[in-house]
Amino acid sequence: MSRVFVTGAGQGIGAETVLQLRELGHDVVAHARSEKRAEQIKAAHAVRAHHVGLAGVVVGDLSTMASTRELAGQANALGPYDAIIHNAGLGGGSDKRKESADGLELIFHTNVVSPYILTCLMPVAPRMVYLTSGLEAQGRLTMDDLQWKKRPWDGMQAYSDSKLHDVMLAFELAARHPGIVVNTVDPGWIKTSLGGPNAPDPLDLGAETQVWLVTSDDPIALTSGQYIKRRAVQVPNPEAQDPAKRAALVDELESLTGLVLP
């Protein structure tokens, strides 16, 4: 039995990930955005006879640095973890640029800065998974305008960029820690509030690969530094494989947060 920490576990793929891990008999610490969502998570698992309950539910708003730092402390108190799944994310449907309370573009803050903060403030687990999207292929690393202050706003491009940045973060962590297994997963186009009603794939399929990655002894699941979809290794955006570009992104994240990637 493993202990796994899952962010964004209140709904969608994150909730399904927790469910599948629990059904396999693993302990799960679930992250919720709010106290209300945390109570919903607890209630959802309490009614299942084969689920004794969660190992814990922690609360934190990933759109603020202070709350994310507090979340790391809560999660660490319930660790250590055999695996961490960075699942939480914000979609790109907005037609207007928004800023977080810290003055950062909101998608970049939620999807990139927050998992970076958690990675810096939590012990690196033996298995680490960062969710991306097939749209990472269209992502670009625009170092002089990560916050979309100069360019005309494009919500879907901002989302695509953030998903590339997630791959870059995962690959950089893998390069720095050859003794652990770090991978990134494209869950597919899944029927969730983020994926929308036209998405072709069912919810269970959206969680299956990352659950497999943190629990399986398959050679692929034990290999680090991969971009994976449906248990198969994919070719990532070439920018993610460029050490200099990864270093530039990490340097900027360090400057924004004051935290050094381990």
- With a cut of 70, list the residues of the chain below it in pLDDT: 47-53, 191, 193-196
**Total H helices, total E strands in the chain:** 8, 8
Rg of the chain taking only CA atoms, in angstroms: 17
One DSSP character per residue, 20-40 reads HHHHTT-EEEEEESSHHHHHH
Per-residue model confidence (pLDDT) at position 201 = 82
- 220-242, pLDDT tens digit by residue? 999 999 999 999 999 999 999 99
- Kindly report, residue by residue over 75-118, the tens digit of the pLDDT: 999 999 999 999 999 999 889 999 999 999 999 999 999 999 99
Q: Choosing from 81, 116, 130, 163, which is the catalytic residue?
A: 163
Strand partners, 237: none
Query: Which domains, ranges and CATH numbers included, belong to the chain?
Result: 3-257 (3.40.50.720)
Report pLDDT for 49: 45
pTM of this prediction? 0.95
Is 159 annotated in the active site?
yes
Tell me if residue 227 is catalytic.
no
**Look-up of token digits 């955005």:** 33
Residues 249, 254, 255, 257, Cα dihedral to 10°: 120
- What pLDDT score does 44 carry? 83
Catalytic residue, chosen from 42, 159, 227, 245, is: 159
Question: Residue 1 in 3-state DSSP?
Answer: coil
Which ranges in the chain belong to alpha helices (H)?
12-23, 35-46, 65-77, 106-108, 114-121, 155-176, 203-215, 243-257
